[in-house]
Amino acid sequence: MRFEDLNLKPLILKKIREEGFLEPTEIQQKCIPEIKKGRDVVGQAMTGSGKTVAFSIPVIEAVIPGRGVQALVLTPTRELCVQVCDTFHTFGKALGVNATAIYGGTGMEQQYSALKRADVVVATPGRLLDHMRRNSINLSRLKFLVLDEMDKMLDMGFIDDVDTIIRNVPKSRQTMLFSATMPESIHSLISRYLQSPVILKAQAKVDKSLLKQIYYVVEQHEKFSLLVHLLTHKTSGFAMVFCGTRHQVDAITRNLQKNGINSMAIHGGLTQNRRMHALNSLKSADIDVLVATDVAARGLDIKNVTHVYNFDAPKTPEEYTHRVGRTARAGKAGDAITLLAHRDFENFDRVLRDRTIEVKKEELPDFKRIPFRAREEGRFARGGHSGARPRRSFGAQRFPKRERWRDG
Query: Do 3-201 and 211-398 share a fold?
Result: yes
* Mean pLDDT on 124-146: 97
Q: At CA 47, angle to CA 44 and CA 48, rounded to 5?
A: 115
DSSP 222: G
Residue 381 has pLDDT above 60, yes or no: no
Q: How many CA atoms lie within 13 A of 24 on its CB side?
A: 24
Question: Domain ranges in the chain?
Answer: 3-201, 211-398
Q: Is the CB of residue 217 less than 8 Å from the CB of residue 340?
A: yes
The pLDDT value recorded for residue 374 is 76
Residue 303 has pLDDT above 80, yes or no: no
The pLDDT value recorded for residue 296 is 60
Burial of 305 (0-12, 13-18, 19+ CB in 10 A): buried
Distances (CA, A) of 51 to 71, 211, 234, 247, 336: 16, 22, 32, 31, 23
Query: What's the whole-model pTM score?
Result: 0.70
* Mean pLDDT on 66-78: 95
Residue 150 has pLDDT above 60, yes or no: yes
* Residues constituting the chain: 408
207 vs 159: CA distance, rounded Å = 34
Other beta carbons less than 10 A from residue 104's beta carbon: 15
* Mean pLDDT on 126-151: 96
CATH code of the region 3-201: 3.40.50.300
Fold designation for 211-398 = Rossmann fold (3.40.50)
Residues in Cβ contact with 167 at an 8 Å cutoff, skipping those fewer than 6 apart: none
Per-residue burial over 281-294, b if 16 or more Cβ lie within 10 Å, else e, is: ebeeeebebbbbbb
The pLDDT value recorded for residue 204 is 56
More confident residue, 158 or 268: 158
148 vs 176: CA distance, rounded Å = 8
The pLDDT value recorded for residue 280 is 74
Residue 46 has pLDDT above 80, yes or no: no
Residue 72 has pLDDT above 90, yes or no: yes
Residue 340 has pLDDT above 90, yes or no: yes
The pLDDT value recorded for residue 398 is 34
Residue 394 has pLDDT above 60, yes or no: no
The pLDDT value recorded for residue 272 is 67
Query: Dihedral, CA atoms, 13, 16, 17, 21, nearest 10 degrees?
Result: -130
**What confidence tier does 388 reach under pLDDT thresholds 50, 70, 90?**
very low
Interstrand relation of 71-74 and 120-123 (parallel, antiparallel or unpaired): parallel
Residue 35 has pLDDT above 90, yes or no: yes
Share of the chain above pLDDT 70, in %: 87
DSSP 328: S
* Mean pLDDT on 202-226: 86
Ranges 271-275, 278-282, 288-292, 320-324, most confident: 288-292
The pLDDT value recorded for residue 298 is 66
Interstrand relation of 289-293 and 360-361 (parallel, antiparallel or unpaired): unpaired
Interstrand relation of 174-179 and 144-147 (parallel, antiparallel or unpaired): parallel
Residue 402 has pLDDT above 90, yes or no: no
* Mean pLDDT on 190-211: 84
More confident residue, 5 or 273: 5
* Mean pLDDT on 256-278: 84
152 vs 185: CA distance, rounded Å = 12
